[in-house]
Amino acid sequence: MVVKAALIGMIVWVTMAVFQFGFGISELNAFEPRFTCKAAECFNLSDTAFGWITTMFTIGGAASSIACGSISKHAQISRKNWLQISAALSLVGSTLLGTTSSMLLLSTARLVQGFGAGIGVVQVPVYLQEISPPSISGEIGITNQLAVVTGIFCAQAIGTWAMAYSLPWRTVPFASCIIAISQLIVGWFWAYESPGWLDGEGARIATRSGYPSASLIRERLWGHDAYEIVDRLGTDTLPERNANADWHTDPDFRKGMRIVAMTQIAQQFSGVNAILYYSTGILSKVMPNIASYIGLLVTIVNGLLTFPPIALISESRLGRKTLMVGSATGMFVFCSILAFSLWIASPWGSALAILCVIACFSMGLGPVPFVIIPEVLPSEYVSIGSSMGLGVNWICNILVAASFPILRNVLGSYDGHTGGLVFGLFACSNLWFAAWIARNYHYVQ
């Protein structure tokens, strides 16, 4: 089918929320030398203090992701309004981050940014599925991860540029402010509400709130063949949600939730965020002069290799399961090589292994766990299941962000403080999850 400009515009606006998530992940990576007094404009922070500021972002994300589903159920906040709240929190957090030098306020700013990002990662995958024609929902779902990696790249690129030309590091959070303002303006004046939300959770308040009908929004986004698509595929393909459904005892929910939780855990325990948060610090020990540039190259590879899954995710091609199992297996191989390369202090071996780890992640474990959330859960439980699954993701994110510097120091006497043994642990994790997904994941049409 021909994709209308209105649908493309909605996809761009919706995914700006997870762009901010990706931006926040890599926002401070290039500036670790400045924060920890290894370069000019010193903040006199220890490695542990810098790690704490980094971790505050994930703590905020975890809190808002977990709370999001429960609040949605009781307060009936629409998907569009959730993304506006996400943008407002990003604006407040980025503004504070760019205007303070206090450890307390830096941590608070990252916490508030995390609140906004947590809302985005819960709402965006479901929002995309609800505005997508069913025949291409998987392909459109990949744009979630594409926006994340684009945000990571932009933050790393601006940070590397600022470091190279001795520019203020505050350039990066101010760039995030501009994105947040754009989100708020477009959301206020143009963006459409989710038709899936209007059909389900929002049905009772949509009429009195003056929203266009779900069918009218689908026609505007899909074109005049919207009704034909719905009739041909059946109403079961369109998500319908019951805010009062008893998800606690539903066996289909438990089965689907198990898959959601395990794939989200697999994504975080793959080791990718240890690279995205700390690649400059990792590589500075083996190639100090160009570590930040390798970090930038990492984000470019991460972005470029998110495109192939758009063409491969269809079950008539490789499909969801093959992409995830192949991704985890490849990450097992290259995390093992990275561990060895760091241990023997091989600069180019380490750099190449990091790039290959990111490439494997981008092909499967990066995008696919978000795409499958609305597919493996019963439609009436997608909101609560998405909130729970992304909450698990954030908690694992916190564990990785907080524990990597500690593990690197604890195991340092065995690997020369290179971090090699930590990536050996990530290699084992990837192998286990590849086997689990191969055995337990089944595509749900």
Provide the pLDDT for residue 331. Answer: 95
98-148 tens-digit pLDDT: 888 788 888 899 999 999 999 998 899 889 988 988 878 778 888 988 898
Rounded to an integer, the average pLDDT of 28-43 is: 62
Report domain extents, the chain.
5-440
Is the pLDDT assigned to residue 240 strictly greater than 60? no
Is the pLDDT assigned to residue 40 strictly greater than 60? no
Provide the pLDDT for residue 210. Answer: 60
52-101 tens-digit pLDDT: 887 888 889 888 988 887 787 677 788 899 999 999 999 999 999 888 87
Q: How much is the mean pLDDT over the chain?
A: 81
CATH number of 5-440: 1.20.1250.20
Of the listed ranges 9-13, 86-90, 171-175, 325-329, the one predicted with least confidence: 171-175
Give residue 328's Cα distance to chain centre.
Answer: 17
Query: What's the pLDDT band for 239 if we cut at 50, 70, 90?
Result: very low
Sign of the CA dihedral with 376 first, then 381, 383, and 388 last: negative
The tokens for 101 are 């030098």
pTM of the model: 0.76
Exposure of 79 by Cβ count < 10 A (0-12 exposed, 13-18 middle, 19+ buried)? buried
Query: What's the pLDDT band for 235 if we cut at 50, 70, 90?
Result: very low
333-362 tens-digit pLDDT: 999 999 898 888 787 888 888 889 989 998
177-216 tens-digit pLDDT: 999 999 999 999 999 988 887 887 666 665 555 667 788 8
Q: Which residue has the tokens 């984000």?
A: 299
Rounded-to-integer distance, Cα 91 and Cα 113, Å: 8
Rounded to an integer, the average pLDDT of 391-408 is: 82
263-296 tens-digit pLDDT: 999 999 998 878 766 666 666 665 666 666 776 7
Exposure of 346 by Cβ count < 10 A (0-12 exposed, 13-18 middle, 19+ buried)? middle
Rounded-to-integer distance, Cα 9 and Cα 306, Å: 20
Of the listed ranges 157-161, 166-170, 356-360, 415-419, the one predicted with least confidence: 415-419
